[in-house]
Structure 1
Amino acid sequence: MDELKQIPIWQGALIVLILLSQSTWLFIDARKRGSYPWFWGMWGLIQFPGPLIFYWLFVRKRWLRKGK
């Protein structure tokens, strides 16, 4: 708990803003594409930038899809 006390409030707010923005964008885009929006949205809330990278590679890039 002492580690959290050392983080300035503006850094904590920035981290929350980044995670919420990422999660919202992943959810909305995955819903448009029919690709497990709740999974991407929840994963986007707990990590950065891993979910964005994996989403871009496995959902957005057509060259990785088989048969298309």
Structure 2
Amino acid sequence: MNELNHLSQGEIWVLALVVILLICQSTWLFIDARKHSRFPWFWGLWGLIQSPMPLLFYWLIVRRGLRKPQV
């Protein structure tokens, strides 16, 4: 807890923005994966602990995988 006393005002704002970004990313991944029946808990949890790799992999694996090749 002593480390938090040494954070500047700018560092606290950056930390808060990162937390909000991760929660938004995780929520979107969970909801969209649930719509497509693609392991929503996996995508939601992974999106909560890391960024932007889960989002990129989700778009490449799940979203692009849903498209059928056009003839």
**TM-score, with length taken from structure 1:** 0.81
- The answer (yes or no) to whether the contact 1:31–1:37 under 8 Å persists in 2 is yes
- Gapped runs of 5+ residues in structure 1? none
Q: What per-residue deviation string (whole Å, max 9, x for no partner) do you get for residues 6-58 of structure 1?
A: 46110010000000000000000000000000000000001100000000000
What is the number of equivalent residue pairs in this alignment?
64
Partner of residue 36, structure 1 = 39
- Gapped runs of 5+ residues in structure 2? none
**TM-score, with length taken from structure 2:** 0.78
Question: What value does the CA root-mean-square deviation take over the aligned residues?
Answer: 2.5
Among the aligned pairs, what percent are the same residue? 57
* Runs of 4+ displaced beyond 4 Å: none
